[in-house]
Copies of this chain bind each other. A is one copy, B any other.
Amino acid sequence: MFTVRAQCANSLGRAGTLKLAHGRVRTPAFVPLATRGAVKGLDAQEVAGLGYELILANTFHLMLAPGAELVQELGGLHELMRWSGPIITDSGGFQVFSMGHGAVADEIKGRGRRREEEGRILSIDEDGVRFRSYVDGRERFLGPEGSMAVQAALGSDIALTFDECTPFHVTREYTERSTARTHRWLSRCLRWHEEHGPKQQAVYGIVQGGVEQDLRRESAQAVAASRCDGIAIGGSLGRDKSQMHEVVSWATGELERQAPSRPRHLLGIGEIDDLIACVELGVDTFDCAVPTRLGRHGVALVPEPQARWRVDLFKGRWSHSREPILEGCPCPACARGYSRAYLHYLLRAHELTAVRLLTIHNLSFVARLMGDLRAGIEAGRLAEVAAALRAGAAPQDSAA
């Protein structure tokens, strides 16, 4: 299902092709979030039009509404969303545990506060998590087999196994116990999938192990030793970017030794510098709320490393600016000539049009960046391309 087309000589970076039930995906690739079955504000055809081949939908949210049975009855998630390409579904583990140690989500996802919708955990045991639904207040249960069953009903191309996303501020012992349970759940998920899962659905195991080098390595070995089709890297990745890159390198380094031909997905990471760094560390696919969430908050992605690749159009300094979001950007928002002043005004006026235009711009920016990284790998010059992007080169999508 995965072919490495080009491998960097000086790094773990590689370009490949994922062959999935609904089509192929050129990697490295960013995967936009269609959390509840829609990329917020866009429809499926627009997402495809921005150059995306793979999207991620959320098991936890979709099992609560509209419900896995209903999605299945309506022809599956592809049919429901009218998305004809591949879909990856997460396992729901991250969301279901976030209800309990809410702070984990905040740490990893950079959120300031717990969201109301996260519901409430009632109990956790070896079989999974009992919780109260934020949709209707009913008691629900999610565990390894249940997660796989939901993902089978949704009909995704890639299912993720059920895991506990280990928090950061826990003891080594906690991390150890939690990681071991994630490995037991991996076996249960694979067993369930073998007996009941759709044959054409790929399954990714998840590497945990927190920020402990030996636990990350062991986890990577354990997952690589399983029959999973691909491998995701999850959990707490550390307190800052340099630790995060180190933790990812432990995992990908071990995976390169143990399972070089299996695709690797990094969960929940997607800031521009992290995408560049982790492509060099051998990650094939990434999902993250950052580009779309920033857009909803009025922030546009621009090639300005010193500003974390961000410009906040909500700020008063843009009220008179006739500049486009990004000069020369081919995305529909820039190509149509909307000025920063217009977007600033629309954001302040709470007009949906602004959110949508910024979402489109940001997703286009990231798609072009990933295209450049792919092209760099294929041309044997990833380091050069990465250095240029890090220095503030505008992404060109040279792979298009």
Contacts and interface: CB of A to CB of B under 8 A. Distances in A.
Contact of A40 (B332, B339, B351): B351
Given A320-B73, A320-B74, A322-B75, A341 B41 contact: no
A65 interface: yes
B82 A336 contact: yes
A65 B349 contact: yes
Contacts of A319: 66, 70
Interface stretch (A195-203, A204-212, A353-361): A353-361
B349 A70 contact: no
Interface string A61-96: 000011000100111000011100000000000000
Nearest to A355: B352
Count the copies.
2
A82 B338 contact: yes
Interface stretch (A42-50, A167-175, A178-186, A369-377): A42-50
B66 A353 contact: no
Given A36-B351, A349-B65, A352-B355, A339 B43 contact: no
B341 A66 contact: yes
A150 to B, nearest CB: 16
A25 interface: no
A5 to B, nearest CB: 32
Contacts of A65: 345, 348-349
Interface residues of A, number: 41
B320 A353 contact: no
A175 to B, nearest CB: 34
Nearest to A350: B36
Given A37-B346, A338-B82, A356-B352, A320 B43 contact: no
Given A342-B80, A349-B65, A74 B44 contact: no
A41 B353 contact: yes
Nearest to A65: B349
Contacts of A74: 320, 322, 339, 341-342
A392 interface: no
A23 interface: no
Nearest to A333: B43
Nearest to A342: B80
A70 B316 CA distance: 13
Contacts of A38: 346, 351, 353-354
A330 interface: no
Given A41-B356, A80-B342, A81-B342, 7 more contacts: A38-B354, A40-B351, A41-B353, A44-B336, A74-B320, A74-B341, A82-B338
Interface of A: 36-45, 65-66, 70, 73-75, 80-82, 319-320, 322, 332-333, 336-339, 341-342, 345-346, 348-349, 351-357
The 5 lowest CB-CB distance pairs between A and B, nearest first, are A38-B353, A41-B352, A66-B345, A38-B351, A36-B349
